[in-house]
Amino acid sequence: MQNHVISILVNNEPGVLAKISGMFYRRNFNIDSISVGSSEKYGMSRIVISFTGDSNEFEQLVKQLHKLIEVVKIKKLENDSLVRELCLIKVYYNDSKAREDLISYSEVYKNKIIDISQDTITLQIIGDPDKVNNFIKLISKYKIKEICRTGTTGMNRG
């Protein structure tokens, strides 16, 4: 079992996401994350999928994706590729000590503090999924109100 990330260029037509996710369901593929947005090409979107499975499963996934008419191009991201994820975390703090600690952890992780209220602080983390996971682990002793992650996106170097 290994983590694979692929980047797919698709025609931006209605139902394309339904077709892709329907195929995953039909073929029993379990997806870690999926992120979608417009691309540099007019009328096309780029979908980045993170998937954990053995090499046979991964091969089937790519082949099945290729069969979808809307899928124009599939690129496998290499191990050294540029992979990022954005995560927003809203955490409760009981006292000023906790608040100061969260702020100083965030400095180390180069997080942004994007909101603060009477009892919560909201942080923005950008990095590869490992960094995000590590930070969430680090602050797990605090009471987390909400976590929102975009899922992995990325591209190959150069």
Partner 1 sequence: MANNNNGKKTSEIIIDTLIKQRVKHIFGYPGAAVIPLFDELLKRKNEIYHVLVRHEQCAVHAADGYARSSGKTGVCIATSGPGATNLITGITNAYMDSIPLIVITGQVSTKKIASDAFQEADMMGITLPITKHNFQIRSADKAEEILLKAFRIATEGRPGPVYIELPIDVQYETKLNNEKSLSNIQGFNPVMKGNSKQIKTAAELISKSKKPLFFIGGGVILSDACNELHKLISLSKIPVVTTLMGKASFPETNELCLGLIGMQGRKCANYAVQNSDLLIIAGSRLSDRATGKFNEFAKKAKIIHIDIDPAEIGKNIPAEVPIVGDVKSVLSDLFYALSRISNKMPYKNWTGKLIRMNKKCSCSLDINSKLISHKKVLYELQNILNDKDIIVTGVGQHQMFAAHFLKRNLPRTFITSGGLGTMGFGLPAAIGAKIANPEKRVFLLDGDGSFQMTLQELATIMQENIKIIPIIFNNSYLGMVAQWLRLFNDNKLSNVSLQNPDFVKLAEAYSLNGIKVTRSDEIKNAIDQSINEKNTTVVEIKVNPDEDILPMLKSNTSLDKLFGPCVPDNYFKEE
Q: Give the interface with partner 1 as residue ranges (CB under 8 A).
A: 11, 14-15, 18-19, 22-23, 26, 56, 59-60, 63-64, 66-67, 69-73
DSSP letter for 126, please: E
Report the residue number, 40 or 80, with the smaller CB distance to partner 1.
40
Nearer to partner 1, 44 or 144 (CB): 44
Q: Which two three-digit tokens encode residue 119? A: 């009892």
Contact 71, 10 (CB under 8 A): yes
| Beta-bridge partners for 42 | none
**Phi, psi dihedral angles at 95 (to 5 degrees):** -145, 175
- Please tell me what DSSP assigns to residue 76: E
Measured from the CB atom, is 15 or 158 closer to partner 1? 15
Alpha-helical (H) ranges within the chain are: 16-26, 55-67, 96-108, 129-138
> Between residues 23 and 126, which has the closer beta carbon with respect to partner 1?
23
How near is the Cβ of 67 to partner 1 at its closest, in Å? 6
DSSP conformational letter for 104: H
Closest distance to partner 1 from the beta carbon of 40 (Å): 15
